[in-house]
Amino acid sequence: MSGAEKLKEKIVSEASKLAEQVVAEAKLRAEEIVAGARMQAEEKHQRILRQAHLQAEENRRRIRTIAELDARKEVLAAKVRTIENVFQQALTRLQALETAEFRAFILMMLVAAAEKGNEEIIVSARDRVRFTADLLADVNEALEKQGKQGKLFLSAQVREIQGGVILRSGEVEIDCSFDSILRMQRDQLEPEVAAVLFG
C-alpha cells in the first residue's frame, strides 16, 4: 500500500472515529436533553396535579362554606317565620277572646291607658258591638276608684284596627290596638319567644 493510500486510510479511519465520537456525544447529549425534558415534564405534571388538587380542595371548601351559610340562612329564615307565626297567632287569639275574657282584658287595658278618664274610645267596626254600656260603666267605675274622671265614652268613629282600642283626647291619641301593642312589645318578647321555641 502506498503512502497516499495509508494516509487516506488513516484520515478515513480518524474521520470515522471522530464521526462515531460525535454521534456518541450527540446521542448522549440527546439522552440528557430527553431525560431533562422528561424530568421537567414530570415536575410540571406533578405541579399541575398539586395545583389541581389544591384548587379542587379550595373549591370543595368554598362549596361547603356556601352550603353551610345557605343552611344557616334557611334555619334563620325558618326561625323568623316561626316567630312571626307565633305573634300572628297571639294577635288572632286576642281578637278571638270570649266575651268575659275580652271584657276583663279591655277593662284592665283602658284603666291602665286612660290618663284623665274622659277620653274617647275608638274601636273597629267588628268590635263595636262588644263595647256594651255595662262594659263602659265598669271601666268608668274602675277609673273613678283610681281618682280619674270616669267619663270614657265610645266614639261614633271606627278605625281599621285589629282589635283593642285607640284612646283620643283632643288631638292626642293613644294606640292600644292589639296589633300595636304586640308590635311595641315585640322587641322585648321576641328573644323570650325564641328561647322558648329554639331553646
pLDDT for res 148 = 94
Pair (45, 116) in one structural domain: no
**Domain count of the fold of the chain:** 2
Q: How far is CA 12 from CA 21, 42, 102, in A?
A: 14, 43, 127
Q: Domain check: are 16 and 55 in the same one?
A: yes
Q: Of the candidates 81, 96, 111, which is a domain's last residue?
A: 96
Distance CA 173, CA 175 (A): 6
Residues 49, 109: one domain? no
Q: Which domain holds residue 71?
A: 1-96
In this prediction, residue 7 carries a pLDDT of 67
Same domain, 89 and 171: no
Q: Spell out a b/e string for 22-51, using b for 16 or more CB atoms within 10 Å of the CB, else e.
A: eeeeeeeeeeeeeeeeeeeeeeeeeeeeee
Which residues have CB under 8 Å from 118's CB, separation 6+? 149, 151, 152, 169
Looking at the fold, whether 174 and 92 belong to one and the same domain comes out as no
The answer on 28 and 69 residing in a single domain is yes
Identify the bridge partners of residue 154 per DSSP, sorted by sequence position. Answer: 121
pLDDT of residue 135: 94
Residues 126 and 59 in one domain: no
Q: Could you tell me the CATH number of the domain that includes residue 166?
A: 3.30.2320.30
DSSP string, 9-53: HHHHHHHHHHHHHHHHHHHHHHHHHHHHHHHHHHHHHHHHHHHHH
Tens-digit pLDDT string for the chain (199 aa): 667 677 667 776 776 777 778 777 778 887 888 888 888 988 998 998 899 888 989 999 999 999 899 989 998 888 889 888 888 988 899 888 898 999 999 999 999 999 999 999 999 999 999 999 999 999 999 999 999 999 999 999 999 998 999 999 999 999 999 989 888 888 887 888 778 877 7
Q: Which of 34, 64, 96 is the last residue of a domain?
A: 96
> In this predicted structure, what is the pLDDT of residue 145?
95
| pLDDT confidence of residue 12 | 67
Length of the chain: 199
Claim to verify: residue 109 and residue 63 sit in the same structural domain: no
pLDDT on residue 158: 94
Domain identity same for 43 and 105: no
Residue that terminates a domain, selected from 39, 74, 96: 96
- Asked whether 157 and 122 are in contact (CB, 8 A), the reply is yes
128 plus 154 within the same structural domain: yes
Contact status, residue 165 vs residue 128, Cβ threshold 8 Å: no
State pTM to two decimals. 0.63
The answer to whether residues 102 and 190 belong to one domain is yes
Q: H-helix or E-strand containing 93?
A: helix 3-95
Q: Indicate the Cα dihedral angle 75, 79, 81, 84, nearest 10°.
A: -170
Q: Is 84 in the same domain as 102?
A: no
Handedness of CA 20, 24, 29, 31 (dihedral sign): positive
